Amino acid sequence: MWNAFESGETIGTTGSEDGVIIRDEVHAEGARLTLESDGVTAPYSITSGVYGEFFHTTFLSSRDEAEKEFEAMRAEIDSYLNNEKSSNWIEEFINRH
Protein backbone atom coordinates (compact mmCIF):
# COMPACT_ATOMS: atom_id res chain seq x y z
CA MET A 1 0.00 0.00 0.00
CA TRP A 2 1.29 3.44 -0.97
CA ASN A 3 0.91 6.55 1.18
CA ALA A 4 2.23 10.10 1.16
CA PHE A 5 5.77 10.16 2.56
CA GLU A 6 5.89 12.00 5.90
CA SER A 7 2.17 12.83 5.49
CA GLY A 8 2.97 15.02 2.49
CA GLU A 9 5.33 17.31 4.39
CA THR A 10 8.07 16.90 1.75
CA ILE A 11 5.95 18.32 -1.09
CA GLY A 12 7.44 21.66 -2.16
CA THR A 13 10.81 20.97 -0.56
CA THR A 14 14.10 20.27 -2.36
CA GLY A 15 14.75 16.68 -3.39
CA SER A 16 17.88 14.66 -4.05
CA GLU A 17 18.13 16.00 -7.62
CA ASP A 18 17.93 19.62 -6.36
CA GLY A 19 14.43 19.97 -7.81
CA VAL A 20 11.08 20.68 -6.16
CA ILE A 21 9.32 17.57 -4.87
CA ILE A 22 5.85 17.32 -6.41
CA ARG A 23 4.99 13.71 -5.44
CA ASP A 24 6.55 11.62 -2.70
CA GLU A 25 5.15 8.24 -1.74
CA VAL A 26 6.23 5.38 0.48
CA HIS A 27 5.16 1.72 0.36
CA ALA A 28 4.33 -0.04 3.61
CA GLU A 29 6.60 -2.95 2.64
CA GLY A 30 9.68 -0.74 2.21
CA ALA A 31 9.94 1.38 -0.94
CA ARG A 32 9.81 5.03 -1.93
CA LEU A 33 9.12 7.00 -5.11
CA THR A 34 9.86 10.72 -5.36
CA LEU A 35 8.96 12.91 -8.34
CA GLU A 36 10.76 16.24 -8.71
CA SER A 37 10.54 19.09 -11.17
CA ASP A 38 13.24 21.50 -12.32
CA GLY A 39 16.23 19.54 -11.05
CA VAL A 40 19.78 20.15 -12.20
CA THR A 41 19.88 17.27 -14.70
CA ALA A 42 16.41 17.24 -16.28
CA PRO A 43 13.02 18.95 -16.15
CA TYR A 44 11.62 15.96 -14.19
CA SER A 45 13.17 13.11 -12.25
CA ILE A 46 11.87 10.12 -10.35
CA THR A 47 13.98 8.63 -7.61
CA SER A 48 12.90 5.07 -6.86
CA GLY A 49 14.10 2.58 -4.33
CA VAL A 50 13.29 -0.60 -2.51
CA TYR A 51 14.88 -0.39 0.90
CA GLY A 52 17.97 -2.57 1.21
CA GLU A 53 17.86 -3.59 -2.46
CA PHE A 54 18.30 -0.70 -4.91
CA PHE A 55 18.16 3.05 -5.51
CA HIS A 56 17.65 4.44 -9.02
CA THR A 57 16.92 7.80 -10.68
CA THR A 58 15.06 8.24 -13.96
CA PHE A 59 15.12 11.51 -15.92
CA LEU A 60 12.19 12.74 -18.00
CA SER A 61 11.37 15.72 -20.17
CA SER A 62 7.66 16.37 -19.56
CA ARG A 63 5.20 16.34 -16.66
CA ASP A 64 2.86 13.98 -18.52
CA GLU A 65 5.69 11.52 -19.21
CA ALA A 66 6.83 11.78 -15.57
CA GLU A 67 3.36 11.11 -14.16
CA LYS A 68 2.88 8.07 -16.42
CA GLU A 69 6.31 6.71 -15.48
CA PHE A 70 5.62 7.30 -11.78
CA GLU A 71 2.39 5.28 -12.01
CA ALA A 72 4.10 2.47 -13.94
CA MET A 73 6.94 2.27 -11.42
CA ARG A 74 4.48 2.35 -8.55
CA ALA A 75 2.55 -0.62 -9.95
CA GLU A 76 5.72 -2.62 -10.69
CA ILE A 77 7.24 -2.04 -7.26
CA ASP A 78 3.93 -2.88 -5.59
CA SER A 79 3.75 -6.14 -7.49
CA TYR A 80 7.38 -6.96 -6.66
CA LEU A 81 6.90 -6.34 -2.94
CA ASN A 82 3.63 -8.25 -2.71
CA ASN A 83 4.59 -11.31 -4.75
CA GLU A 84 7.45 -13.76 -4.97
CA LYS A 85 10.59 -11.81 -5.74
CA SER A 86 12.39 -12.59 -8.98
CA SER A 87 16.18 -12.61 -8.79
CA ASN A 88 16.54 -10.51 -11.93
CA TRP A 89 13.63 -8.11 -11.34
CA ILE A 90 15.82 -5.19 -10.20
CA GLU A 91 17.99 -5.28 -13.32
CA GLU A 92 14.89 -5.53 -15.53
CA PHE A 93 13.19 -2.65 -13.69
CA ILE A 94 16.23 -0.38 -14.08
CA ASN A 95 16.53 -1.26 -17.78
CA ARG A 96 12.85 -0.40 -18.33
CA HIS A 97 13.03 2.87 -16.42
Predicted local confidence at residue 83, as pLDDT: 86
Domain ranges of the chain: 2-96
Q: How confident is the model at residue 48 (pLDDT cuts 50, 70, 90)?
A: very high
Predicted local confidence at residue 86, as pLDDT: 78
Q: What is the mean pLDDT of residues 32-50?
A: 98
DSSP 8-75: GTTTTSB-TTSSEEEEEEEETTTEEEEEEES-SS-SEEEEEEETTTEEEEEEES-HHHHHHHHHHHHH
Quote the mean pLDDT of the chain: 96
Is the pLDDT higher at 18 or at 82? 18
Whether pLDDT at 87 is above 80: no
